[in-house]
Amino acid sequence: MNSVLLGVLLGATICIMNIKWLRFFVNGILLNMKNIKGAQRLTYISFIFRYLVIAGILYLAVISHVADMLAIVTGFSAALFSVVLIFFIQSKRGININGRTTPLY
């Protein structure tokens, strides 16, 4: 039972960590870079780094039998579904652009 609970928590944590890292890299690299080639290079490096870290965490969790793989996938999917659902709910609300309120979509 503990491996299932830890798997769900680990999957949800990895999903949220991945989304936070993606936002950090988009804000830090793509929005502040003046050099397009440098931004592309840093984007590739950050992409590889993120997924190597995630793959390492998953590998260690599965090899050491700390977490169940199906529970990790369930936690990842539940967290991703929640994030997407929150985005869609917030996109229906109006946002203020140049003094006018318009829907996000």
pLDDT at residue 24, as a whole number: 82
List per-residue pLDDT tens for the chain, 105 residues long. 688 888 888 888 888 888 888 888 877 776 666 777 777 788 788 889 888 998 998 888 888 888 888 888 888 888 888 888 888 777 766 665 565 555 554
Rg (CA), the chain: 18
CB 42 within 8 A of CB 31: no
Q: Would you call 94 helix, strand, or coil by DSSP? A: strand
pLDDT at residue 105, as a whole number: 45
pLDDT at residue 52, as a whole number: 93
54 burial via Cβ count (<10 Å: 0-12, 13-18, 19+): middle
